[in-house]
Amino acid sequence: MRNHRGVRVLAVVAVALLGMSHPETASAEDESASLEGTVSVGGYGASLDGVTGRVREYDVDREDLDPDLKLELFGWNETNRFDLRTEFRNETELDLDASLDAGKNVDVKFSHRSFYHSLDHDLLGNLGWRERVGVDSLGGDVGGGKMLTSEDTDPLAVYGVRVTDTKERLEVHVPVGTGTTFLAEYRNLSREGTRQVLGVDHCANCHVRGQTAVVDERMQQATLGLSTVLSEVKVGYRFSVRDFDNRAEAARNRFMQARHPVSGASGAEFASRLLYENETLEVSKTPNNLTRSHAVEVAVDLSGSQTVRGSYLRTDAENQSAGIKMETNAATLAWQARLARAVRASASLTRRELQNDSWELDLPNWREGRPGGGQDFDWTRLSAYDREEYLGSARLVWAARPGRNLRLDYALHSTDRDHVLLDPEDDSATRTVQNTIRATWSERIAKATRARLSAEYEHTSLPFVSVRGICEESGSDVFVPIDGGQPSDWLYYFQREKIGTGASLPTKAVRLKGNLTHGFGARASVSAYANAAFEKNDDLNLYDFERSVVAPGFSALLMPSDEFVFATGVAHSRIKSNAKLCVTVMDG
């Protein structure tokens, strides 16, 4: 695989003539109007031969230099201003930002960005294996029926998409009365190109096939909003609709006929374990989805020193391909106040409820007609989205003196999931409660030197875990009779109960951050920082999860002029984590 080959050669040649050139600036000015413009001409190139996918993630491999053209225009008169910036490299890489302030009442913004995003190409080189069931009389391996093969049907393909993101925003401040604003936004985000689709088929042997698929996705989002200020009360409403449209045909994969991988016989033995065989079916199909949301917000300014805000949000999301609908209702109440000249405080509480459609799955019986088979595998998918959440926060800021600042933060996040179990021993354990306290001290040690320290402790009761996700109980005696049958040594996949609980989230965490910055005037600074985190989850039933992160760093910044910026830094990051690795023994 290319990504595991290592970075043998990293040769990126970026000819930044743009930054080295002297832009030609022209301006025209009279007493009441001005027009300034800058044109920059340069070139850009990147040679990426042998560079791994992730390093070259946003670069296009070029044989020659592309032009790099930049145009900036800025004009204004007494009542209007416009600002235009654009950069062009090729038909894929184009940036354009424009804004217009027409008088005091109309603001228009437009931006367009397009760039290339390289996608991974897995050559599947690690997928080759045949089981060894013994040794023949000559000492050679005797192969069994279990095999793993793969094929990449398009090994020379280079995968990537052109991402195009266009945003428009219109804001109109109604001139009659005060503080009434109308807002309209539109966004069009598209991805076009090709990607690799992998499909796994285990009818006769386990076979992974890689193929090329078209990417043609478009997301459109429109927002309409209205807000007004009535004395000390600000009221706002927003309606937003987001439409994701996958316009590409789904890739298809051939699922072979089920049969014994060596003899080719006994099809029913294998077919009875599968939902489908001997068919060509769609794979990796991204469904269309539509999201509508309504938001109402009211803010009341009490006495100029404290504000109370309330908001309500209703969101309806729909998977339009499957017809699944989900509803979100959220209400927030927040308060903030300046209690004294040097003391500020805030608190908020949000309640959020999500309800997603359940889904009935009508599946064939397990190994119908086979010894020990015939069990009904129909089930109802109850969504992990279904939940009730409370998010609370409180903050107290004490500016002890100019330049010295102490902050205390508290955060609560309570999540009660309807269908996700968090404790294998307790069927009612569905609620996670996370409490976080943080103290931050900020100090201007000298006129140009600032220091900042923060310490955080987080305790989580029943964090999100994979219950019975790991470690099968050993021994055939754990397998119980099915449907009143006799105890059996038949080992069925669905009987292999896992007894361990695995997690990558801690129950206790201590996180420390420190930062020291010294400025040499406005154009140079040095900064040293260190982050550390020590996290532990000792509520798991088989092992203690631990993770530690230590990341010190140093950086320096020098700006001789606005055109030249030198920045350098060294960052060291050490992350250590442990978890239990359970490897099961294949049966059957």
Partner 1 sequence: MPATPRKRARACARAGPRICAALLTLLPGIPAFAYEVDSFDARAAAYVDDAACLECHEEYAASTTVHRDLEEFETAAVVTRGCQSCHGPGSLHVESNDPDDIRNPATADPVVANRACLQCHRADDVGAFEMSLHAAADVSCVSCHDIHGPQRGALLRSSQPDLCVSCHQDQRASMYLPSHHPVREGRMTCTDCHDPHGSTPSAASAGRPNDLCLSCHARHAGPFIFEHSPVIEDCTICHAPHGSVANALLVQNEPFLCLQCHQAHFHATIPGIDGEFTSLDGYSAVSTHDASKRGFLTKCTQCHTEIHGSDLPSQSISGQGAALTR
Instruction: Show contacts with partner 1 in window 523-552 (CB under 8 A).
Output: 525, 527, 529, 531, 545, 551
Check if the beta carbon of residue 93 is closer than 8 Å to that of residue 70.
no
What whole-number distance in Å separates Cα of residue 311 and Cα of residue 423?
A: 34
Between residue 362 and residue 401, which ones bind partner 1 under the rule CB under 8 A? 363-364, 366-367, 377, 379, 381, 383-385, 391, 393, 395, 397-401
Segment near partner 1 (CB under 8 A); pick from 17-25, 38-46, 241-249, 474-482: 241-249
Work out which of 162, 370, 431, 444 binds partner 1, going by CB under 8 A.
444
Between residue 12 and residue 31, which ones bind partner 1 under the rule CB under 8 A? none
Site string for partner 1, 133-172 (x = CB under 8 A): --------xxx--xxxxxx-----------x---------
Q: Does 193 bind partner 1 (CB under 8 A)?
A: no
Q: Does 566 bind partner 1 (CB under 8 A)?
A: no
Q: Does 421 bind partner 1 (CB under 8 A)?
A: no
What whole-number distance in Å separates Cα of residue 313 and Cα of residue 41?
A: 48
β-bridge partners, 195: 213
Residue 429 CB burial class (10 angstroms; 0-12, 13-18, ≥19): middle
Select 464 or 479, whichever has its Cβ closest to partner 1.
464
Q: Does 270 bind partner 1 (CB under 8 A)?
A: no
Residue tagged 């832009």 (tokens): 23
Residue tagged 């009434």 (tokens): 180
Between residue 327 and residue 366, which ones bind partner 1 under the rule CB under 8 A? 328, 330-332, 334-344, 346, 348, 350, 352, 354, 356-357, 359, 361, 363-364, 366
CA 527 vs. chain centroid, Å, equals 29
Between residue 208 and residue 237, which ones bind partner 1 under the rule CB under 8 A? 208, 217, 219, 221, 229, 234
Q: Does 470 bind partner 1 (CB under 8 A)?
A: yes
The DSSP secondary-structure symbol of 582 reads -
Segment near partner 1 (CB under 8 A); pick from 16-24, 37-45, 152-160, 313-321: 313-321
Work out which of 19, 403, 485, 487 binds partner 1, going by CB under 8 A.
403
Q: Does 453 bind partner 1 (CB under 8 A)?
A: no
Select 459 or 580, whichever has its Cβ closest to partner 1.
580
Residue 303 CB burial class (10 angstroms; 0-12, 13-18, ≥19): exposed
- CA angle, corner 331, sides to 328 and 334, nearest 5? 145
Residue tagged 């013994």 (tokens): 134
β-bridge partners, 356: 326
Work out which of 23, 287, 374, 424 binds partner 1, going by CB under 8 A.
287
Size of the site for partner 1 (CB under 8 A): 201
Work out which of 42, 46, 52, 160 binds partner 1, going by CB under 8 A.
52
Side chain identity, residue 491: L
What whole-number distance in Å separates Cα of residue 392 and Cα of residue 414?
A: 9
What whole-number distance in Å separates Cα of residue 483 and Cα of residue 460?
A: 40
Work out which of 264, 369, 487, 560 binds partner 1, going by CB under 8 A.
264
Check if the beta carbon of residue 162 is closer than 8 Å to that of residue 116.
yes
